[in-house]
Amino acid sequence: MRKLPPLNSVRAFEAAARHQSFTAAADELSVTITAVSHQIRQLEARLGQKLFERTGRAVALTPVGKTIYPLVRDGFDQIAQAFEAVSARTSEDSIQISATRAFAQRWLMPRLSQFNAVHPNVTVHIHGSENLVDLRAEEIDLAIRYGPVASDQRESVILEDCYFAVAGRDICPQDRKPAIEDFASRPLIAYKWGNRALNAPDWSTWLALVEHDRSIDFRMSWYSEEMLALYAAECGLGPLMCSNVLIDEELRTGRLRKIEGPCLPGFAYRLVESPSTRPKKGLRLFTAWLREAARSFRDESFVPEQP
């Protein structure tokens, strides 16, 4: 007979170790912080070893905790996989996808009907977030991550973007290419990046590279997120510097026009599968379709004429 500690205590330990927080563990398990603390103290008493160092509200794994945690985490993953293997067929054909809100809304969702037409039995759930989602905790099958990539991650890249300045058709001159001076009376639209770790292209970098009247003191209008800034530009509230991946259709139709100036290098979109997800038929079909859709976009995307 196996001598197992109380499973509630093990669950509390795994959640607290993964989040590095008793508060987050309590939220996940729908119990009080006191209950999580009690369960972990019970486990520590059984082992005769401390598992966490507590400093105020912060917690960190002790050397013993660091030794146990990967084994416990993998054990829970294997238990989940065991039950997934005998779950209903709908689980096989139901997949969870994580992406930034802007990419999900502007690039993925307009193309998703193409996937649905070919694979009507696969249900795709979209999780839009600017945060780095914990794939294990959120039960995400596939994440489309945005940012710089290391050399050993190149195989996972599906798209790379660049940034240039655009403005709504109605506020651009109709008889020539728009220049940044045409918008001296309007604020430059900017937005707060959800991922503050990214050294994102910005207006100051762009303006330093483009020839323009340096006496103009451009105003900035800040938006709390990218989707609001994109909509503001489409409404003609001012020029915006944004990713070509997100505005391809608007450039094709002329709703947005490129302002004369440079294209700044952006980042890459790459695929990251959850290490705890067993291979699903639906996921394999979606990943293959996504790679092909990205390839078609790269081949056919609108490339504005350079000045």
Between vectors from CA 67 to CA 65 and to CA 70, what angle results, nearest 5°?
95
Q: Are residues 63 and 110 in the same domain?
A: no
pLDDT of residue 90: 46
Q: Are residues 42 and 54 in the same domain?
A: yes
The DSSP bridge pattern shows strands 240-243 and 157-168 to be: antiparallel
Structure tokens at 104: 């999900």
**Structural domain total, the chain:** 2
Q: Are residues 171 and 217 in the same domain?
A: yes
Q: Does residue 149 lie within any of the structural domains?
A: yes
pLDDT of residue 278: 66
Distance CA 6, CA 39 (A): 9
Q: Does residue 1 lie within any of the structural domains?
A: no
Q: Are residues 80 and 185 in the same domain?
A: no
Instruction: Give the Cβ contact number of residue 225 at 10 Å.
Output: 14
DSSP category for residue 214: T
Three-state SS at 137: helix
Ranges under pLDDT 70 in the chain: 1, 57, 81-92, 276-278, 302-307
Q: Are residues 238 and 253 in the same domain?
A: yes
Q: Does residue 251 lie within any of the structural domains?
A: yes
Domain of 68?
Answer: 7-85
pLDDT of residue 85: 59
Q: Does residue 197 lie within any of the structural domains?
A: yes
Q: Are residues 282 and 159 in the same domain?
A: yes
pLDDT of residue 306: 46
Q: Does residue 109 lie within any of the structural domains?
A: yes
Q: Are residues 77 and 218 in the same domain?
A: no
Instruction: Give the Cβ contact number of residue 187 at 10 Å.
Output: 15
Q: Are residues 215 and 290 in the same domain?
A: yes
Three-state SS at 258: strand
Q: Does residue 171 lie within any of the structural domains?
A: yes
Q: What is the CATH number of the domain that holds 191?
A: 3.40.190.290
Q: Are residues 52 and 124 in the same domain?
A: no
pLDDT of residue 3: 76
Q: Does residue 111 lie within any of the structural domains?
A: yes
pLDDT in tens, 173-209: 999 999 999 999 999 999 988 777 788 899 999 999 9
The separation between the first and the last C-alpha atoms of the chain, rounded to the nearest angstrom, is: 76
